[in-house]
Chain A
Amino acid sequence: MNGNLRWYYVTRGLMVLAWVGLMALLGTPREIMLVGAVLMAAFYLWLPRSGRYVIRTDRPLSPLLRDEREHAISSRAATYAFVAMLVPLAAAVLVASLRGQDAVSTDLISSIIAVSMTVWFVASFWLRRKT
């Protein structure tokens, strides 16, 4: 498998190096760059072994594909996250308009987005165990 995934590892290694270069240009401390690069590399090494992807060696640069079950899980998790974002957002707009406010605070919107992202992660994890 490793031989077939050579180009995957090469390109992802280059992406890690590009990220390190970008962070260096932005003046990021070395320790943070190192931790970030190690985490990124570990993530890319883990992905083919995660069992979430079908490995297609005829696509050397993007050999990891989701199968139909993974598509179904992602789609349902995205729906849950969308609802988790839309309902509170609509409520926030409604409350703001009832109070005569012109805008919804960015802190509140950030919190709603964070909650919806959390819902997406939790739903993905839960559906993967259940489905």
Chain B
Amino acid sequence: MDRLTNRLKELRARHDLTQEQLGWAVGVTRQTILAIERGDYSPSVHLALRIARRLETSLEEVFWLEPGSDRLGEER
């Protein structure tokens, strides 16, 4: 299955934002930003768009799908 990947940490650092500041700006907790950066939590489309807008970039610049194994267990 495709895995949602991101470069949120890099873009956040480029904007000189802490996790707490970004979280506050997009209406989530610091823990949620941390979980997204680690790839442990997949944000809703709504939140992903808010993050991209705050980082002044497009959604695809922040999040993308990393090809993974399909349902039959084959690597693409």
Whether A68 contacts B32 by the Cβ 8 Å rule is: yes
Q: Number of contacting residues on B, CB 8 A?
A: 14
Asked whether A51 and B30 contact (CB < 8 A) given A68-B47, A69-B35, A131-B35, the answer is yes
C-alpha gap A49/B60 in the complex (Å) = 33
Q: How far is the CB of B59 from chain A (nearest CB, A)?
A: 16
Chain B, Cβ-Cβ closest to A51: B31
C-alpha gap A120/B2 in the complex (Å) = 30
Asked whether A54 and B27 contact (CB < 8 A) given A68-B47, A130-B40, A131-B40, the answer is yes
- Inside 8 A of A128's CB, which chain B residues have their CB? 31
- Inside 8 A of A54's CB, which chain B residues have their CB? 23-24, 27-29
Q: Which residues of B from 51 to 76 have beta carbons under 8 Å from A?
A: none
Q: Which residues of B from 21 to 47 have beta carbons under 8 Å from A?
A: 23-24, 27-32, 35, 40-41, 43-44, 47
Chain B, Cβ-Cβ closest to A52: B29
C-alpha gap A67/B33 in the complex (Å) = 11
C-alpha gap A130/B40 in the complex (Å) = 7
Whether A67 contacts B41 by the Cβ 8 Å rule is: no
Of B27, B29, B30, B41, the most chain A CB neighbours within 10 A belong to B29
